[in-house]
Amino acid sequence: MKALDDMWQDVPVASFEDLAGARRRLMDGMRTRRRVLTAPRLLVAAGVAAAAVAAPLIAGGGTPAYAVTENPDGTITVVLNEMRDPEGLRADLLAAGVTADVSFLAPRTRCADPRFEGTDPSYGSPGPTGALRTGVERWRSFQATQVVDVHEIRIRPEFIRPGETLVLEFRDNRNAQRPWTLGAWLARAGSPVKPCTPVPDPA
Amino acid sequence: MTTTREVVAADDATLIGRSLHEPEIFAVLFDRHAPLLHRYVTRRLGPGEAEDVVADTFLAAFQSRGAYDRGRPDARPWLYGIASNMIGRRRRAETGLYRAYLRSGVHPGEIAGARVEDGVNTLAVNRPLARALLRLKRADRDVLLLVAWAGLTYQEVADALAIPPGTVASRLNRARAQIRQSLGEGERP
Nearest to B94 by CA among B73, B86, B82: B86
> Contact A14/B55, CB-based, under 8 Å?
no
Give how far A34 is from chain B: nearest CA, Å.
7
Question: CA A20: distance to chain centroid?
Answer: 23
Nearest in space to B144 (alpha carbons), one of B40, B47, B54, B55: B40
Confidence band (pLDDT; 50, 70, 90) for A45?
very low
Looking at the predicted structure, is the pLDDT value of residue B32 above 70? Answer: yes
B32 at A interface, C-beta within 8 A: no
Alpha-carbon gap: B12 to the closest alpha carbon of chain A (Å): 17
CB neighbourhood size of A158 (10 A):
12
Mean pLDDT computed over B109-118:
39
Task: Classify burial at A175, counting beta carbons within 10 Å of its beta carbon; exposed 0-12, middle 13-18, buried 19 or more.
Answer: exposed
Higher pLDDT, A138 or A82: A82
CB contact under 8 A, A22 and B38: yes
Say yes or no to pLDDT of B109 above 70. no
Within this chain, domains B1-89 and B136-189 share the same CATH topology? no
Of 3.60.10.10, 1.10.1740.10, 1.20.120.430, 3.30.930.10, which CATH number belongs to B1-89? 1.10.1740.10
Statement: residue A106 has pLDDT above 70? yes
Q: Across residues A169-184, what is the average pLDDT?
A: 82
Residues from chain A contacting residue B52 (CB–CB below 8 Å): 22
Q: Is the pLDDT of residue A102 over 90?
A: yes
B80 touching A (Cβ < 8 Å):
no
Check pLDDT > 60 for residue A51: no
For A34, residues 6+ apart whose C-beta sits below 8 A from its C-beta are: A91, A92, A95, B23
Q: How confident is the model at residue B113 (pLDDT cuts 50, 70, 90)?
A: very low
Distance from CA of A18 to the nearest CA of B (A): 8
Which pLDDT value is given to residue B66?
Answer: 87
pLDDT at A65: 85
Cα–Cα distance for residue pair A41/A35, rounded to 1 Å: 10
Q: Which residue has the higher pLDDT, A112 or A47?
A: A112
Q: Across all residues in chain A, what is the average pLDDT?
A: 75
B21 to chain A: which residues are within 8 Å by CB?
A: 85
CA distance B142 to B88: 9
Residue B12 or B94, more confident: B12
pLDDT of residue A187: 92
CB B175 within 8 A of CB B141: yes
Rounded CA gap, A169 and A181, in Å?
A: 8
Measured between beta carbons, the chain B residues lying within 8 angstroms of A85 are: 3, 21-22
CA distance A4 to B126: 9
Q: What's the rounded mean pLDDT across residues B33-48?
A: 89
Q: Report the distance separating Cα B117 and Cα B104, nearest Å.
A: 14
B50 touches chain A (CB under 8 A): yes
Q: What is the pLDDT of residues A27-42, one digit of tens each?
A: 888 875 433 333 222 2
> pLDDT value at position A137?
52
Mean pLDDT along residues A121-149: 63
Query: Which pLDDT score is estimated for A59?
Result: 33
Query: Does position A93 have pLDDT exceeding 90, yes or no?
Result: yes
Most confident of A1-15, A46-60, B119-133: A1-15
Residue of A nearest to B49 (CA): A22
pLDDT of residue B185: 61
- pLDDT tens, position by position, A8-22: 877 777 887 888 899
Tell me the sheet residues that pair with A200. Answer: A109
Residue B51 is nearest to which of A22, A30, A86, comparing CB atoms?
A22
Distance CA A75, CA A69 (A): 9
- A179-183, B3-7, B78-82 — which is least confidently predicted? B3-7
CA–CA separation, A131 and A82 (whole Å)? 34
Q: Give Cα A41 to chain centroid, integer Å.
A: 19
- Asked whether the beta carbons of residue B38 and residue A18 sit closer than 8 angstroms, the reply is yes
Question: What CATH architecture applies to the domain B136-189?
Answer: Orthogonal Bundle (1.10)
Choice between A136 and B2, residue whose per-residue pLDDT is larger: A136
Residue B57, pLDDT score: 96
Secondary structure (DSSP) of chain A = -HHHHHHHHTSPPPPHHHHHHHHHHHHHHHHHHHHHHHHHHHHHHHTS-TT--HHHHTTTSS--SEEEEE-TTS-EEEEESSS--HHHHHHHHHHTT--EEEEEE-TTEEE-S-SS-BSSTTTT--SS-HHHHHHHHH-HHHHHEEEEETTEEEE-GGG--TT-EEEEEEEE---SSS-EEEEEEEEPTT-PPPPP-EEE---
